[in-house]
Protein backbone atom coordinates (compact mmCIF):
# COMPACT_ATOMS: atom_id res chain seq x y z
CA UNK A 1 0.00 0.00 0.00
CA UNK A 2 1.03 3.55 -0.62
CA UNK A 3 0.71 6.41 1.81
CA UNK A 4 -2.23 7.85 -0.10
CA UNK A 5 -4.16 4.69 0.83
CA UNK A 6 -3.98 5.83 4.47
CA UNK A 7 -5.26 9.39 4.03
CA UNK A 8 -8.70 8.55 5.47
CA UNK A 9 -7.14 6.67 8.40
CA UNK A 10 -4.86 9.62 9.16
CA UNK A 11 -7.82 11.99 9.04
CA UNK A 12 -9.85 9.73 11.33
CA UNK A 13 -6.96 9.97 13.80
CA UNK A 14 -7.06 13.76 13.60
CA UNK A 15 -4.17 14.29 11.19
CA UNK A 16 -3.69 15.61 7.68
CA UNK A 17 -1.10 14.47 5.20
CA UNK A 18 0.74 16.96 3.02
CA UNK A 19 3.70 16.43 0.72
CA UNK A 20 6.30 18.56 -1.02
CA UNK A 21 7.43 18.08 -4.59
CA UNK A 22 10.80 19.60 -5.37
CA UNK A 23 11.58 18.22 -8.80
CA UNK A 24 9.84 20.65 -11.09
CA UNK A 25 7.85 23.77 -11.65
CA UNK A 26 4.60 24.72 -9.95
CA UNK A 27 2.76 23.74 -13.13
CA UNK A 28 4.55 20.37 -13.20
CA UNK A 29 3.64 19.73 -9.58
CA UNK A 30 -0.01 20.53 -10.30
CA UNK A 31 -0.01 18.11 -13.27
CA UNK A 32 1.66 15.43 -11.15
CA UNK A 33 -0.95 15.81 -8.38
CA UNK A 34 -3.86 15.65 -10.83
CA UNK A 35 -2.42 12.63 -12.65
CA UNK A 36 -1.84 10.70 -9.41
CA UNK A 37 -5.19 11.59 -7.76
CA UNK A 38 -3.38 11.97 -4.44
CA UNK A 39 -6.25 13.02 -2.18
CA UNK A 40 -3.98 15.28 -0.12
CA UNK A 41 -2.21 18.61 -0.72
CA UNK A 42 1.04 18.56 -2.67
CA UNK A 43 3.09 21.74 -2.40
CA UNK A 44 5.87 22.81 -4.70
CA UNK A 45 9.34 23.54 -3.36
CA UNK A 46 11.31 23.89 -6.58
CA UNK A 47 13.54 26.53 -4.96
CA UNK A 48 14.28 24.13 -2.06
CA UNK A 49 13.19 26.66 0.56
CA UNK A 50 11.72 23.96 2.81
CA UNK A 51 13.61 20.80 1.93
CA UNK A 52 16.95 22.51 2.47
CA UNK A 53 16.11 22.39 6.19
CA UNK A 54 14.96 18.75 6.19
CA UNK A 55 15.93 15.49 4.57
CA UNK A 56 14.34 15.31 1.14
CA UNK A 57 13.22 11.70 1.53
CA UNK A 58 12.12 11.85 5.13
CA UNK A 59 8.66 11.65 6.62
CA UNK A 60 7.70 13.84 9.56
CA UNK A 61 4.81 13.69 11.99
CA UNK A 62 4.27 17.26 13.16
CA UNK A 63 1.95 18.15 16.02
CA UNK A 64 -0.58 20.99 15.89
CA UNK A 65 1.94 23.05 17.85
CA UNK A 66 4.47 22.73 15.00
CA UNK A 67 6.77 20.39 16.95
CA UNK A 68 8.14 17.34 15.12
CA UNK A 69 6.79 14.35 17.07
CA UNK A 70 8.22 11.56 14.91
CA UNK A 71 10.59 11.27 11.97
CA UNK A 72 11.48 8.50 9.58
CA UNK A 73 14.67 8.86 7.55
CA UNK A 74 13.57 7.15 4.37
CA UNK A 75 15.49 6.10 1.33
CA UNK A 76 14.16 6.99 -2.12
CA UNK A 77 12.83 3.48 -2.85
CA UNK A 78 12.26 2.34 0.73
CA UNK A 79 9.67 4.59 2.32
CA UNK A 80 8.01 4.35 5.72
CA UNK A 81 4.73 2.48 5.65
CA UNK A 82 1.38 4.10 6.28
CA UNK A 83 0.79 1.53 9.02
CA UNK A 84 3.92 2.73 10.87
CA UNK A 85 2.83 6.36 10.64
CA UNK A 86 -0.68 5.49 11.79
CA UNK A 87 0.69 3.53 14.77
CA UNK A 88 2.87 6.49 15.80
CA UNK A 89 -0.07 8.84 15.39
CA UNK A 90 -2.28 6.61 17.54
CA UNK A 91 0.46 6.42 20.19
CA UNK A 92 0.71 10.22 20.27
CA UNK A 93 -3.06 10.53 20.53
CA UNK A 94 -3.09 8.05 23.41
CA UNK A 95 -0.42 10.16 25.17
CA UNK A 96 -2.53 13.27 24.63
CA UNK A 97 -0.08 15.11 22.36
Q: What is the pLDDT of residue 58?
A: 84
Q: What is the pLDDT of residue 66?
A: 87
**59: nearest Cα among 24, 85, 97, 92:** 85
Taking the C-alpha atoms of residue 44 and residue 17, their distance in angstroms, rounded to an integer, is: 15
Q: Is the pTM of this model over 0.85?
A: no
Per-residue model confidence as pLDDT tens digits over 42-90: 999 989 998 888 877 788 898 888 898 999 987 766 788 999 999 999 9
Taking the C-alpha atoms of residue 86 and residue 90, their distance in angstroms, rounded to an integer, is: 6
Q: Check if the beta carbon of residue 59 is closer than 8 Å to that of residue 71.
A: yes
Taking the C-alpha atoms of residue 79 and residue 63, their distance in angstroms, rounded to an integer, is: 21
Amino acid sequence: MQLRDYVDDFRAAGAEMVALHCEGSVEGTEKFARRRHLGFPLGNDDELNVVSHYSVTSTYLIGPDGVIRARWLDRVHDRVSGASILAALNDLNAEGR
